[in-house]
Amino acid sequence: MAEATKVAETEFGYFDVPAREYVITSYATPAPWHNYLGLEGQLCGIISSTAGGTTWYRDPQACRITRYMQVGAYKDRPGRYLYVRDNASGAFWSAGYQPVTQARPDAYECRHGLGYTRITSVNQGITTEMLHLIPLGELIEVQRVAVRNDGDRPRRLSCFTYREFVNSSADNDLFNVQFSGHIAQMDPDPDDARILYVTTSQTPPERARFMAVSEEPAGFDTKQEAFIGDGSLSDPQVVREGRARGSLCGDDTAVGVFQLDLELAPGQQQVFHVVVGWPPHDGHARDVLAKWLGDDARVLKALDELKDYAVGLLGTYQCDLDDPYMGVAVNTWNAYQCWVNFQFSRSISGYACGLRRSMGTRDSLQDLLGYMHMSPHGARQRILELMEAVHLKDGGCRHQYSALTRQGSENTGFSDDHLWAVLAVADYVKETGDLSILDEEFSYSDDRGLSEDLYHHLLRAIQYSFDDRGAHGIPRLRAADWNDTIGGGADDEVSESVLVGIMLVHMARLMGPLAELSGRGDLTVEQDGKQVNVLDYFRTVAETMTGALNAEAWLEDGWYARGTDRHGEWFGVPSRDEGKIFLEPQPWAVMAGVADEERGRAAMDSVREHLFTENGIELLTPACTVAPSGNFTVFPKGAKENGGIFCHPNPWAMCAESILGRGDRAFEYYSAILPPKASEKDPRHYTAEPYVYGQLRYARPHREFGKAAGTWLTGTAAWNYVAATQYILGVRPDWDGLIVDPCVPAGWREFCITRTWRAATYEIAVSNPDGVMKGVRSVTLDGKPIEGNVLPALGDGQVHRVEVVMG
């Protein structure tokens, strides 16, 4: 199958498939289109296609370095700006278009890559290229600037750098200016004019954030008021006049302005570097800068190392398909988004300001599902770190924690958080075969004197949900389940969640194999005042819950109810005027085996009949004017949880349809929200980045039907990756083997998958001569037929060739 080199081209850009880059060809995208820098979770950044964004160290709230105002993100300011002035004419422009939007470039290109961004613009015969990256293992962000004279006459130019620095923490910087506005000072290094330090009365230069340039500057400014003068960010007085003032910040916003004067002959190019950094753990900023400033070969080598590192992570699952849209998502951009979500959870994006959620419990545990295969070691660390930070001795969880302090929040009472831990650990064991993770002991976040191994932490999670059941034998909803907006409150003793009940069945069925494989099958657990075998207990949980759900929550209309409200009344039922059917329980009933095949098909048929649109599956219908439970009617009809196309649970429907063998339907759902396809139809209306998933699209009742929002940091990424790779393409790890069970459109005739699993690589060629949607007729491994469709864990470091015939 020939690989397309350019995919989903629109007026705003296209995918450069071999380069693993999205190429933006317009400075005027419908909204800021972002990328991430610093994918090791230390020094990090977000950057837009016009160089807007911010940089931070580990925690974007406590350790923000540069300012970015998400409330004004449509204007995409401030950012990593470079003003360029023609000293002969006095004309000036910005190398990244923003903020000098009155000086439009003659040509513009931004290439977002895996952890780096390159912006190239042409203005008045001058080509400027800015490469932005955070080198692996470093606490600096490098902007490599190349300025070239494309004309036939010499040019005298002045380049002015610009960064706005946060004076304190990000929340103080935004909400408490009477405090933060009097803290920071920014001064040059007394021995090296190329370096500026952002200091306070308690922060000496050697422990300060810093900014530096590789060339001797003609001048500098650190006081925003002096730099802007009588102008604005689009027309700063210093740039207009062509001369930095040497101002020093003391009671104003600290800015990093260096003036660099260039004289370029025709065809000549000059390269310089701009570096922003966090103080090194050992030594002085000067030591770090001595290694990087002016060493262009080192910067370019760092880019190559970053690319190699990214390709190594993404290379653990690659596919060769006739569908280039799915191919570019699975091979690069969906996987890359999963990687970004692992690092940043829900902390900061173009939509999230970095002040609230940090590392969400349910968010981070689900993010692992799309990242596990790329870095099992990183996943293991995250599971243990998270559980120690958030898990409570009653089995519940704190709702989020700080990546910096590892402290959990006071926000508790969510009925689903703890159950996601079982799924994450089970997936980790299936991926690695490493059962030792279950032996890791750590304390509970509300009782540091009580330590148990991870297995017993997970056992308490199951007990918490099973013991906290309501009048219908279904777990109580409490503060909320996966849907944050339908909760009755942590003290609500009445409301029940059908979704949590179904999840509990699934998780209990995972706990049994974990017990047996780890030698814990003989353990006992207390149930109704008696000690019972732990395997019997998990069977009881699963069977009891399955019975209750099918007896109480199944509706003869052909779907499962969503739950009960504070008055004990069912919602997600046809007798309601609004919110008659909700999406979440229907696919989960299939995934967990709560529904038999007849009910599973009926439930998913109801999803298609009532909830599916050409832009994705709506969360509920009809959208509500009065919420049956919670507060989701704060949103207008068709937005977010009020009947919007909430993309996160859409892949649950893909998984369910794949289990049911309906490959055409699974792929139709997959394609409906796939960003390259969705954006290509109408990129101006779709608005969001075409290379990553968003949290939502507006649904039929909304005036913006089909528009996307909330991109990058969303559980949509991991679950779509799971649906695509493990269910549609059908290669997924199990306890003791690699299952090959595709469920594809009937028109697919062949495709290939390369999967690295447990230290062996499997090159899997699938043929479908009869045009079936599901079913495996035969499998050969290295030329020899095997029984069934489960590949053994070979673990020999070798490449193995697998041929699969569907039928």
Note whether 206 and 244 are within 8 A (CB): no
Residues marked active site are found at 484
Residues 6+ apart with CB under 8 A from 89: none
Q: 676 is written with which tokens?
A: 């390259």
β-strand pairing of 447-453 with 441-444: antiparallel
Q: Which helix (H) or strand (E) holds 419?
A: helix 417-432
Beta bridge partners of 348: 353
Beta-sheet pairing, 760-767 with 799-806 = parallel
Find residue 64's DSSP bridge partners: 56
Contact assessment for residue 129 and residue 118, using Cβ atoms and an 8 Å cutoff? yes
Q: Please report which helix (H) or strand (E) contains residue 466, including its range.
A: helix 454-467
The three-state secondary structure class of 166 is coil
Residue 517 in contact with residue 428, Cβ under 8 Å? Answer: no
The DSSP secondary-structure symbol of 205 reads: G
> Do 142 and 134 meet the contact criterion of CB atoms below 8 Å apart?
yes
CA distances 720 to 488, 648, 691, Å, are 29, 8, 13
Distances (CA, A) of 717 to 192, 314, 326, 336, 465: 46, 14, 13, 9, 27
Q: Write the single-letter amino acid at 41.
A: G
Q: What is the DSSP letter of 280?
A: P
State the Cα–Cα distance between residues 399 and 419, nearest whole angstrom.
Answer: 12
User: Distance between CA 296 and CA 298 in Å, rounded?
Assistant: 5
Which residues 6+ apart lie within 8 Å of 454 measured at CB?
Answer: 383, 384, 387, 425, 437, 438, 439, 440, 441, 442
CA–CA separation, 349 and 355 (whole Å): 11
User: What is the rounded CA–CA span in Å between residue 741 and residue 747?
Assistant: 17
**Best CA proximity match to 537, nearest among 550, 527, 549:** 527
Please confirm whether the linkage preceding 376 is cis (ω < 30° from 0).
Answer: no
Helix (H, G, I), strand (E, B) or coil at 91: coil
Encoded tokens for 42:
């230390």
Distance CA 63, CA 43 (A): 10
- Residues ≥6 apart with Cβ < 8 Å to 524: 531, 532, 533, 534
Backbone angles phi, psi at 222, to 5 degrees: -125, 0
Contact 583, 620 (CB under 8 A): yes
Q: Helix %, strand %, coil % for the chain, to 5?
A: 30, 30, 40
Distance of CA 6 to the CA centre of its chain: 24
User: 604-629: string of b/e by CB count within 10 Å (b at 16+)?
Assistant: bbbbbebbbeebbbbbbbbbbeebbb
Closest CA to 506 of 431, 435, 432, 588: 588
Chain centroid offset of residue 30 CA:
21
CA distance 362 to 152: 60
- Residue 407 φ/ψ region, left for φ over 0, alpha for ψ in the -120 to 50 degree band, beta for the rest: beta
Give me 563's structure tokens.
């739950």
